[in-house]
Structure 1
Amino acid sequence: MAQDTQWPPLSPYSTGIRGHCPRCGQGHLFSGFLQLRPNCEVCGLDYGFADPADGPAFFVLCFACVPSVALAVWIEVAFQPPFWIHLLISLPFLLLTCILPLRPLKGWLVASQYFYKAEQGRLDRGT
């Protein structure tokens, strides 16, 4: 397997958002919608380092769910429509703004972990 020094650094924005390997930019990060592959099929990078945890869900909640719920509340207060109107307007808007950004955000977080060499925190016991 090739050393990391043989690969030029690639921007996490250009690779992660598209779901490409953070090292070579050609392989794929995902085997499903949000399921990470075990490694890159092009350069062989092991994706074992990747742990975005709840990061994508947090960002989606903050930046997509809150405005979606605010829209639904505004529609309810301003127009008091029947429930089926919310099913036609509010629910699809909520689903689109909450589900579609998950994959690009997860890819960006994984690529950022690789780019910035982020690791789990450790206590320094040797002084």
Structure 2
Amino acid sequence: MADENLDEKPTWPAIWRGIKCKCPRCGKAWLFHHYIEQVDACPVCGEPLAYYKVGLFLPLIVITIMVHIIAFTMLQMELSGNSNPLVYLYVLVPLSGVLSLALLPPAKGGLIGLMWAKGWSDEQDR
């Protein structure tokens, strides 16, 4: 019975390593070449990572997180009395742009870590 769990990969440590933009297996090498260009294999442990593509799940996660942060910011601005439309324009438009760019690498890394731990892929087995 103990041999059944040998291939089980820890999910939460893999997600956490991915959020830090590190390899989900070893946590030492960078997960991305450039901004969000995924490496084919980990240079330290040799884990093939090209198999795990997040596809359209990444924008869903980033937009969901952004909507919560922007809604919370709008609520705080309304409750504090800063309801001038120009304040919204000057605060929320740059915040949404910077926030979306800042969330892309950790969100993609976390999704790659989750997919690696669960063995999921967007490609069909042939």
Tell me the TM-score normalized by structure 2. 0.71
Q: 2:54: which partner in 1? A: 52
Tell me which amino acid in the other structure corresponds to 1:12: A
Q: Looking at both structures, which has the greater relative contact order when contacts are Cα pairs under 8 Å and sequence separation is at least 6?
A: 2
How many percent identity over aligned positions? 21
Q: 1:71: which partner in 2? A: 74
Runs (5+) with no aligned partner, structure 1: none
In the aligned structure 1, how far is the partner of 2:69 from the partner of 2:45? 40
Q: 1:116: which partner in 2? A: 118
Question: Aligned-residue CA RMSD in angstroms?
Answer: 3.0
Q: 2:24: which partner in 1? A: 22
Note the C-alpha offset of 1:86: 4.6
Runs (5+) with no aligned partner, structure 2: 1-5
Contact 2:15/2:24 (CA < 8 Å) preserved in 1?
Answer: no
Structure ID, larger Rg: 1
Deviations 1:66-93 (A, max 9, x none): 6537839x77xx73444xx455312221
Tell me the TM-score normalized by structure 1. 0.70
Q: 2:3: which partner in 1? A: none
Q: 1:61 aligns with which of 54, 60, 63?
A: 63
The structure 1 segments of at least 4 consecutive aligned residues displaced by more than 2 Å after TM superposition are: 65-72, 78-82, 85-88, 119-123
Flag the structure with higher helix content: 2
Q: How many equivalent pairs are there?
A: 113
Q: 1:37: which partner in 2? A: 39
